Amino acid sequence: MLLKAKGLVKDGKDDATIEATLNDAHALCKTDGVDNVSHSSTLLDIYALKIQIAEKKKNLKAQKSYFERSLPLTSAGLASNSVLGEIFRCGGRVRLFDSKYPESSQHFCEAFKNYDECRNSDGAEECLKLWVFASLLSGSPVNPFDDHRASVYLNKLALQNFSRIVKAVLGKNIENFLHAIKPALRDELVKEFVPNLQRVVQKSVFFGSCKTLF
């Protein structure tokens, strides 16, 4: 039944048909209406597919619910890297929208590593960009590109600019930041988070100047 649902997603069938199939499969993995952890691997597959549908519908509330229910299963099941990548990417996004930046950064890091492991370069690149923003918004002094997996992606022009953003923020160089952030304003993935990052940088530079004065 789950294979049928995966096939429907791949074939682009209507969401109602897919969701009905997923709900049938989900019911078989429950005991007394509660997820049975002995079926954790199958449940993670189901939640990953449900997350895809919820994201397509731009239903952040549903995405958050599916992530919260799937997170405890990630340490119990033997899910594929692609499934874990999907789940942690979802977690990163919902935490980012909730302004829970340290958690968001951690989830995007996990999503990036899982996508990289299964050689999904598009998914890895997307999560790396979001990991950078979540990390900087959290105030972390760590450069995500210091990770050996992430450094490999510096051969991509778009990510070279993200590296410049990180260096400018961590170095508190406002001029370099203002120059490096301009391309991000045209990036559909992160542009809505640019104003928040600008405020973080301005605050950091302001307090840095105050310390110098006093």
Reported as a pLDDT band with limits 50, 70 and 90, residue 62 is very high
Does residue 56 lie within any of the structural domains? Answer: yes
Asked whether residue 186 is domain-assigned, the answer is: no
User: pLDDT class for 17, splitting at 50, 70, 90?
Assistant: confident
CA 35 – CA 75 distance, rounded (Å)? 15
Q: Which of 41, 53, 37 is nearest to 5 (CA)?
A: 53
Tell me whether residue 8 is in a domain. Answer: yes
Cα-based distances in Å from 147 to 121, 132, 142, 143:
16, 12, 10, 8
Tell me which amino acid residue 75 is.
S
Domain carrying residue 46: 1-73
pLDDT mean across residues, the chain: 89
What's the pLDDT tens digit per position in 106-135?
999 999 999 999 999 999 999 999 999 999
Counting other chains too, the contacts that 12-17 makes at CB distance below 8 Å and 24 or more residues apart are: 15/53, 15/56, 15/57
Amino acid identity, position 15: D
Q: In the chain, how many domains are there?
A: 1
Note the pLDDT tens digit of each residue in 63-103: 999 999 999 999 876 889 999 999 999 999 999 999 999 99
Give the type of residue at 53.
I
Q: Please, what's the b/e burial string for 80-91 (b: 16 or more CB within 10 A of its CB; e: otherwise)?
A: bbbbbbbbbbbb
Q: Residue 189: is it exposed, middle or buried by C-beta count within 10 angstroms (0-12/13-18/19+)?
A: middle
Q: What is the pLDDT of residue 207?
A: 52
Q: What is the pLDDT of residues 130-162, one digit of tens each?
A: 999 999 999 999 999 999 999 999 999 999 999
Indicate whether 49 belongs to any domain: yes
Neighbours of 160 (CB within 10 A): 13
Share of the chain above pLDDT 90, in %: 78
Q: Residue 142: inside a domain, yes or no? A: no
| 13 within some domain | yes
**The two structure tokens encoding residue 186:** 């045209």
CA 212 to chain centre: 37
Quick check: is 137 in a domain? no
Does residue 96 lie within any of the structural domains?
no
